[in-house]
């Protein structure tokens, strides 16, 4: 295994290019199972999660070619198998989005339950409810979801949950509905840009979809889909992470490829904190040369402040004078990074689903342990601001969602290196 060694205190300056969206790429790659014709996906980031999904498709007898250097995946599912085993699915929770396309294509499939998640309970009951509404018989046995049907039939499906809409649940039901007979209306669907991107790819394949990006999506089923080419959107979470990296180091960074329309909530909170955010076509520039102000943050489903940016925002608030309150409304237990930030000198206390952050004058470098993808990003940002040397262990977590993050930060002037543990 490897770790990141960061010597903090250096302002980031320069330009960084944002990679394609992991959360968009994974369900789009799964959607290639809906047709026997070849599909080409461009702008795919070179990440471990992408490799895991490619490996699962190969297991399912899909012809997959992953051109990592070019960011291209070519896939052709002529005669896919219908069983996704635990040995592969356990590595990545997003593999549950194979369920919808496999059921729609084969009418009989088994996908291993994805297992637990360190950031909190992430049940898939809404996925199963939606597929049952379309006419599938769904049985949980021996750790597998076994779904079968004679045919899928369009209907109304409500996907609202306790903590908001389900993104992968929306993707699963939408993919299944493309080949169902009749019209499906998904109410309380997720509005995330990644859902819109998946819908755009499905439409290119011949699907009939209206309303993606809103809380009501209408899908008119078709008899079959065909191959298509698609370039995925850039990663809004990576872009927002570099926005906060620029801020926490008092830097000046131009973020190329960022989609400003996907970043409103993060931009607003940074501006409230006293950070300068400028937008142009395809570029966001972040400058921070003044004292920050404390802010209160509540994570919510899109277009609210993203839960995937909670740890990074927490890092900034640890060195912001005053008291900030960060409330987690999507995954209330998603605070495992707090104890590690405390090792760097952060003053944070937890009260239920809220973190009370008292800004300190400085953080001090120390060894820390990443618990999950976004927690690792938050610890990297804290290390960039800390005095002295910070070791971020379990770097494989950050590699799940950030392409070459150490190289990109180093190009901006950060003192960061990757070494063997």
Cα 246 to Cα 251: distance, rounded to the nearest angstrom = 5
Rounded Cα–Cα distance for residues 98 and 94 (Å): 8
Of 39, 117, 149, 191, the catalytic one is 117
Whole-angstrom Cα distance, residue 391 to residue 37? Answer: 47
Residue 176 near residue 152 (C-beta atoms within 8 A): yes
Tokens of 109: 């499939």
Nearest to 314 by CA among 264, 377, 261: 377
Written as one string, the DSSP assignment of 7-18 is E--PPPEEEEE-
Residue 191 annotated in active site: no
Query: What angle separates helix 336-343 from helix 373-385, to the nearest 10 degrees?
Result: 20
Give CA–CA dist 311/169, Å, rounded. Answer: 24
C-alpha distances in Å from residue 134, one per residue of 100, 107, 141, 208, 341: 11, 12, 21, 17, 46
Tokens of 334: 């998603």
Q: What angle do CA 330, 336, 340 make, to 5 degrees?
A: 145
Residue whose C-alpha is closest to residue 98's, from 45, 135, 126, 57: 57
Q: Within 10 Å of residue 142's Cβ, how many Cβ atoms? A: 9
Residue 32 carries which DSSP code? Answer: G
Bridge pairing between strands 229-231 and 39-42: parallel
Tell me how far apart the terminal alpha carbons of the chain are, to the nearest angstrom: 6
Phi, psi dihedrals of residue 420, rounded to the nearest 5°? -70, 140
- 10 Å CB burial of residue 421 (0-12, 13-18, 19+) is exposed
Q: Residues with catalytic annotation?
A: 117
């Amino acid at each position: 295994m490897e770790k990141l060694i960061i010597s903090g205190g250096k302002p980031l300056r320069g330009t960084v290019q944002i990679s394609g969206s992991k959360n968009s790429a994974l369900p789009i790659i799964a959607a290639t199972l809906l047709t026997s014709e070849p599909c080409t996906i461009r702008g795919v980031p070179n990440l471990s999660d992408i490799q895991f999904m490619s490996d699962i498709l190969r297991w399912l007898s899909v012809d997959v070619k992953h051109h990592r250097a070019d960011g291209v995946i070519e896939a052709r599912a002529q005669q896919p198998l219908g069983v996704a085993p635990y040995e592969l699915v356990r590595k990545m929770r997003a593999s549950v989005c194979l369920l919808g396309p496999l059921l729609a294509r084969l009418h009989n499939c088994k996908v291993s339950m994805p297992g637990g998640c360190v950031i909190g309970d992430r049940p898939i009951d809404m996925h199963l409810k939606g597929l049952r509404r379309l006419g599938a018989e769904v049985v949980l046995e021996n750790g597998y979801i076994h779904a079968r049907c004679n045919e899928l039939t369009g209907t109304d499906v409500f996907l609202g949950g306790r903590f908001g809409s389900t993104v992968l649940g929306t993707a699963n039901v939408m993919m299944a509905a493309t080949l169902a007979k009749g019209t499906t209306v998904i109410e309380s669907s997720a509005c995330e840009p990644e859902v819109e991107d998946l819908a755009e790819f499905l439409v290119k394949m011949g699907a009939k979809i209206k309303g993606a990006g809103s809380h009501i999506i209408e899908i008119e089923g078709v008899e079959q889909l065909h191959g298509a080419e698609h370039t995925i959107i850039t990663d809004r979470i990576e872009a927002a992470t570099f926005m906060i990296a620029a801020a926490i180091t008092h830097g000046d960074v131009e973020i190329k490829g960022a989609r400003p329309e996907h970043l409103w909530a993060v931009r607003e909170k940074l501006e409230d904190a006293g950070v300068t955010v400028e937008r142009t076509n395809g570029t966001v520039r972040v400058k921070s040369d003044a004292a920050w102000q404390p802010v209160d943050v509540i994570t919510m489903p899109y277009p609210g402040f993203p839960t995937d940016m909670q740890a990074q925002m927490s890092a900034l608030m640890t060195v912001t004078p005053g008291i900030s309150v960060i409330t987690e409304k999507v995954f209330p237990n998603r605070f495992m990074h707090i104890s590690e930030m405390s090792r760097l000198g952060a003053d944070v206390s937890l009260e239920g689903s809220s973190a009370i952050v008292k800004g300190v004058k400085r953080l001090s470098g120390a060894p820390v342990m990443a618990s999950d993808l976004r927690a690792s990003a938050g610890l990297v940002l804290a290390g960039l601001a800390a005095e002295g040397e910070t070791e971020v262990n379990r770097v494989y977590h950050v590699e799940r969602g950030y392409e070459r993050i150490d190289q990109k930060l180093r190009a901006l002037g950060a003192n960061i290196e990757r070494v063997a543990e």
